[in-house]
Structure 1
Amino acid sequence: MMERFSPTTALWKKLSLFDRTVGAIAIVLVLLIAVVLLRGNQSPLMVTQYSWRNTNIGAQTQALTMTFNHPVDPDVMESGLVIDPPLAGKTIWQGRRWFYTLTDIPRYGTNYQLTLPLPAMVRGPRGQDFTSLITSRARALAYIGVAGEERGRLILYNITNPQQPQKIILTPKDLTVRQFQIYPQGDRLIFTATDPTRRGGQQNIFTVATGINNLNTQTKVLPGKLERLWEDQDYDNQRIALAANGSMLVIARENAQNSADSGLWVAPSGENPRPLGIRAEKFIVGPNGNFLAVGQEGGVGLIPLIPEAGAPHFLEAMEQALDFSADGKQLLLSQQNPDFSHSLIVYDLQERTQREVLRGPYPLISCRFDPRSQPRAYCLQADFIQREGEPVQPEPYLAVINLTDGQARPLLALPNYPEVDLTVAPDGLGLMFDQVATGPTLGSHDLLTNSQRSIVDGRVWLLPLPGDLATETDADPDPQELTAGFAPRWMP
């Protein structure tokens, strides 16, 4: 009987054993892929990337990002997200990546529990629900001590647990701290101090580690690690201002041998200082390091510190620059008017326009933007009081001012303390200020106020700022004494 010829059979017989084996494996793989495509992906839904892992969230935290191993239904995922206590935000999707952009500032010293039920994929097993304990930054402050072994030294004070506050002295006894600023991660402070190795009470610039590790990196630095910057025996470093993002430091310096050689110097991060050719007693630097606002004769100058910031600009008739907004887009200024009244001005740095918020008879000593979304500021204003048998004296009081309609509400009178330093908590829920007792200057290593009066004693106070303080019917918050010291600053 004649055998039927099959081209496929003949070709298969001609193949080597190796080729037939490879072909069989390929056929099996094709069949397996077909089965997977028909049945669907059987792996459970999981979070493969989570941006808040191993970090402490704070005012600088902009968004949470999560990436999933499968495409998901955005509506289902958003409806299942629970953060306790609540932390408001809005969502944006890019494929499998979810951006949860915060619209509230996290409360400092708070633990948040995040829970996300992961639904089952179609014809697949249910994923394990995702949970995370999120820690916000510590509720802490730094200040200069005034009593005992703390006098003239930088102190880190953690009040996250008000029943058991923790205090760490950061600087050695032989340095008398004059002024300090805080780097954005809270890991370091930069400060000026009279240095015993330099004659005449000249001040040098130092940094000191706080021991705070908000990013939870592997590097562990103990608090108190000191570093001297820019050893230059010719200059006395008198005042400093640091951009909130740490990118730019501005220094007021004077040549110890020639007082005519004085002015502002600028030091971008990681670089040596260079002179700006500008003199100024009062100056503040924008949070992004773009602008410097300096008090000059007849007004306030806006000096660009980077090429992208544009040309210099002069604001006539302004008394002083008070504060930049957190995003660097607005600037608060005080203005004295021809009728001797005083105005609070909001200046838009992008549009280069200004708007008068309020006008009154009393000068503005200082103002701070509220970091929360509400358009308001906390300001120290000076009332003038004349008591029997005494000359007229300025008496500061603290007020909250609505920057939209100019409505002002007095919060607290501060009698007998003409020099007050105030700072608003990064989450907007507290305000700190100091009250100092002064006397005549005793020596070059004495503690001094801005008016060069010797500080005999000082107290740091906390004023809680709950609610919106919107109406007169709200109860005024009560100040709480925290510690002996002055020049308090909230840790970022």
Structure 2
Amino acid sequence: MQLSPRFKLLSQPLDRYAVGLVVLLSIAIAILLWVGDRTAPQVKEFSWQGQRIDSTNISFALTFNRPMDRDSVEKNLKFEPPLTGKISWSSRRMSYTPIAPATYGKSYQVKLENAYDRFASESGQKKAIEPFTGSFTTPNPYFAYIGSQGEDKGRLIIYNTLQKEKRVLTPANLTVLDFRVYPDRQKILFGAIDGVGKNLLDQKLYVVTTGIDREDHLTSNQPTIKPILGSDDYQNFKFDLSPDGKNILVQRLSRQQVGRYGLWLIQEDKPARSLENQPGGDFMFTPDSASVAIAQGEGVAILPLEPQAPPLDFLPRFGTVLSFGRSGTQAATVKFNKDYTRSLYLVNNQGLQKELTKISGSILGAQFDPQEKTIYCLLTDVEQDPAKNIFREKPYLAAINLESAQLKRLLELPSQREIQFSIAPDGESILLNSAIPSSEPTNSQNNADDSAQATRNPRTPKAPTQLIILPLNSSSTASAQPEVLSMFGTFPRWLP
């Protein structure tokens, strides 16, 4: 008897094994479909797990193993300490964007439990998510400044506010004039003059290591200083470091060619080169690090970092740009009015030009808070002394709501011009220097007024400038009490 082709095929052992496997798999699939998936939902990935998160980290993501009931997730997501934010979804992925950066110097836990998958209610088999706990940390708060008293005078210093550790980074023979901190906190770019001669026109640029290790602590390693730009052929004036730390811009004047003045660009491991641009005044990098805003003529030009390149944009009404918001979409600018007053304007990339305040005094500085809802500014009142028939400018720190343009005075300061302030990257406080008046001269006061300090700024007050931290309380900023530190210096800046 001859078998049909079908039975010939099944007569082979391998064929019988394959058919049996198919049958078993079919039965297993049928059972699974009838019983349902009884495994609990779970978090598969937390994008910030175990990381050190700074103010540049905008949001994190939680990825689940199945589509989730979004309301149950949002209701049961907890933070210790609290971290308010906004939630968005894309399939099994949830993004969380904090409204304000996480507070520096903290360890955070992210917890989720009692959440369910999307089909739990429909199937009637609600099984809670496997309890999840994630963690991340934030950098320790550091700031840098230029000392103005005793052995610290003219030297670059960093300070850890949690461990109360202070480190002098530069030697006594260099008088530091200004500096910029690299985004990774590992280095600081600074301009300084040698102790011999102390001529401001001989400023050179250097880079110094901070000694902050990967664990965010100060090591015992000695700072290393590397020369970046000399002053033999050119005089170096203002400089700036791009937000990504890859570009340096310097205003330079040739010592040989009369009138040759403009911006020079220094890129990583490349020699300085002139941009051959039209000479201008005050300048700063844009947040994308790809262009520069510089005062030219009767306006502000946005120039690319290319030689002889035409402006990308021009703002004809304004004299200078004071700062950019973190998003890069808006800036604070100053307009010099014909009636000798000054106006602070909010300008954005949608064409908005909004006057925030108009004063008869000076606008010394302005910075956005991380949320870009408030701008903090250093302004002055003009006061007349009837006895001497002279006018004085009295500075004060103010906060302006960007939506309502309402101005709130935060801190009255002594009459002086050399004031700088810096908003902490987490938006929790403001660091500034202020003159501390004294009725009787002291040794430290006399030391603060020597020739090097006078060379740096002839208007430097005789009273020493002491560092102050002003906490920013979102519920009642006006009631915050400033903390006067035991350090004297200028140009205080928080590390990013």
TM-score range, shorter chain: 0.7 to 0.9
Instruction: After superposing the two structures, state which structure 1 stretch, 422-431 or 166-175, moved more.
Output: 166-175
1:147 aligns with 2:137: no
Question: Relative to structure 1, is the Cα distance of residues 242 and 384 closer, same or farther in structure 2, using a 3 angstrom cutoff?
Answer: farther
> CA separation in 1, counterparts of 2:366 and 2:401?
12
> CA separation in 1, counterparts of 2:256 and 2:144?
34
| Counterpart for residue 95 of structure 1 | 91
* Shift of residue 261, structure 1, vs aligned partner: 2.9
Q: How does 1:40-189 map to 2 (within 5 A)?
A: 40-41=36-37, 43-117=39-113, 119=115, 128-159=130-161, 161=162, 164-189=163-188
> CA separation in 2, counterparts of 1:354 and 1:289?
23
Residue 87 of structure 1 aligns to a residue in which SS? coil
* 1:490 maps to which of 476, 491, 494: 494
State the Cα deviation string for residues 429-455 of structure 1 (Å, max 9, x = none): 211111357977735xx6754557598
| Counterpart for residue 10 of structure 2 | 12
- With the length of structure 2 as denominator, give the TM-score of the two structures: 0.81
How many percent of aligned residue pairs carry the same amino acid? Answer: 28
> CA separation in 1, counterparts of 2:311 and 2:391?
45
Residue 361 of structure 2 aligns to a residue in which SS? coil
> CA separation in 2, counterparts of 1:338 and 1:391?
22
Q: How does 1:175-324 map to 2 (within 5 A)?
A: 175-194=174-193, 202-212=202-212, 224-229=223-228, 233-258=232-257, 260-267=259-266, 272-276=271-275, 277-305=277-305, 311-316=312-317, 318-324=318-324
Residue 62 of structure 2 aligns to a residue in which SS? strand
| Counterpart for residue 481 of structure 1 | 485
> CA separation in 2, counterparts of 1:138 and 1:223?
20
Alignment-mate amino acid for residue 410 of structure 1: R
* Shift of residue 148, structure 1, vs aligned partner: 3.8
> CA separation in 2, counterparts of 1:347 and 1:309?
21
> CA separation in 1, counterparts of 2:111 and 2:398?
40
Alignment-mate amino acid for residue 182 of structure 2: Y
Question: Relative to structure 1, is the Cα distance of residues 223 and 293 closer, same or farther in structure 2, using a 3 angstrom cutoff?
Answer: farther
* Shift of residue 42, structure 1, vs aligned partner: 5.0
Question: Relative to structure 1, is the Cα distance of residues 236 and 23 closer, same or farther in structure 2, using a 3 angstrom cutoff?
Answer: farther
> CA separation in 1, counterparts of 2:285 and 2:316?
16
* Shift of residue 304, structure 1, vs aligned partner: 4.2
Residue 77 of structure 1 aligns to a residue in which SS? helix
| Counterpart for residue 473 of structure 2 | 466
Unaligned stretches of 5+ residues in structure 2: 436-444
Conserved? CA contact 1:368–1:379, under 8 Å: no
* Shift of residue 402, structure 1, vs aligned partner: 3.1
1:442 aligns with 2:454: no
Alignment-mate amino acid for residue 381 of structure 1: T
Conserved? CA contact 2:104–2:426, under 8 Å: yes
State the Cα deviation string for residues 253-281 of structure 1 (Å, max 9, x = none): 23344463332123456654432323344
> CA separation in 2, counterparts of 1:133 and 1:449?
46
Conserved? CA contact 1:89–1:101, under 8 Å: yes
Question: What RMSD over aligned residues (CA atoms) do the two structures have, in Å?
Answer: 3.8
Alignment-mate amino acid for residue 412 of structure 2: A
Q: How many residues align?
A: 475
* Shift of residue 381, structure 1, vs aligned partner: 1.9
State the Cα deviation string for residues 100-149 of structure 1 (Å, max 9, x = none): 12222222223322111165776797653111233222222111122344
Question: Relative to structure 1, is the Cα distance of residues 394 and 196 closer, same or farther in structure 2, using a 3 angstrom cutoff?
Answer: closer
> CA separation in 1, counterparts of 2:165 and 2:175?
22
Alignment-mate amino acid for residue 143 of structure 2: L
Conserved? CA contact 1:285–1:291, under 8 Å: yes
| Counterpart for residue 420 of structure 1 | 419
Alignment-mate amino acid for residue 392 of structure 2: Q
State the Cα deviation string for residues 377-400 of structure 1 (Å, max 9, x = none): 323224234263474332222222
Residue 485 of structure 1 aligns to a residue in which SS? strand
Alignment-mate amino acid for residue 459 of structure 1: Q
Conserved? CA contact 2:301–2:311, under 8 Å: no
* Shift of residue 409, structure 1, vs aligned partner: 2.8
Question: Relative to structure 1, is the Cα distance of residues 65 and 195 closer, same or farther in structure 2, using a 3 angstrom cutoff?
Answer: farther
Residue 74 of structure 2 aligns to a residue in which SS? helix
> CA separation in 2, counterparts of 1:198 and 1:19?
96
Residue 491 of structure 2 aligns to a residue in which SS? strand
Alignment-mate amino acid for residue 160 of structure 2: N
Instruction: After superposing the two structures, state which structure 1 stretch, 261-270 or 337-346, moved more.
Output: 261-270
Question: Relative to structure 1, is the Cα distance of residues 417 and 310 closer, same or farther in structure 2, using a 3 angstrom cutoff?
Answer: closer
Conserved? CA contact 1:372–1:427, under 8 Å: no
Conserved? CA contact 2:361–2:379, under 8 Å: no
Unaligned stretches of 5+ residues in structure 1: none
Question: Relative to structure 1, is the Cα distance of residues 223 and 98 closer, same or farther in structure 2, using a 3 angstrom cutoff?
Answer: farther
| Counterpart for residue 329 of structure 1 | 329
* Shift of residue 173, structure 1, vs aligned partner: 3.9
Residue 288 of structure 2 aligns to a residue in which SS? coil
> CA separation in 2, counterparts of 1:475 and 1:266?
45
> CA separation in 2, counterparts of 1:46 and 1:194?
60
* Shift of residue 213, structure 1, vs aligned partner: 5.8
* Shift of residue 57, structure 1, vs aligned partner: 2.3
> CA separation in 1, counterparts of 2:256 and 2:306?
31
* Shift of residue 157, structure 1, vs aligned partner: 0.9
> CA separation in 2, counterparts of 1:249 and 1:132?
39
* Shift of residue 31, structure 1, vs aligned partner: 4.1
> CA separation in 1, counterparts of 2:115 and 2:204?
60
Conserved? CA contact 1:120–1:126, under 8 Å: yes
> CA separation in 2, counterparts of 1:374 and 1:275?
38
* Shift of residue 24, structure 1, vs aligned partner: 4.3
Question: Relative to structure 1, is the Cα distance of residues 72 and 351 closer, same or farther in structure 2, using a 3 angstrom cutoff?
Answer: closer
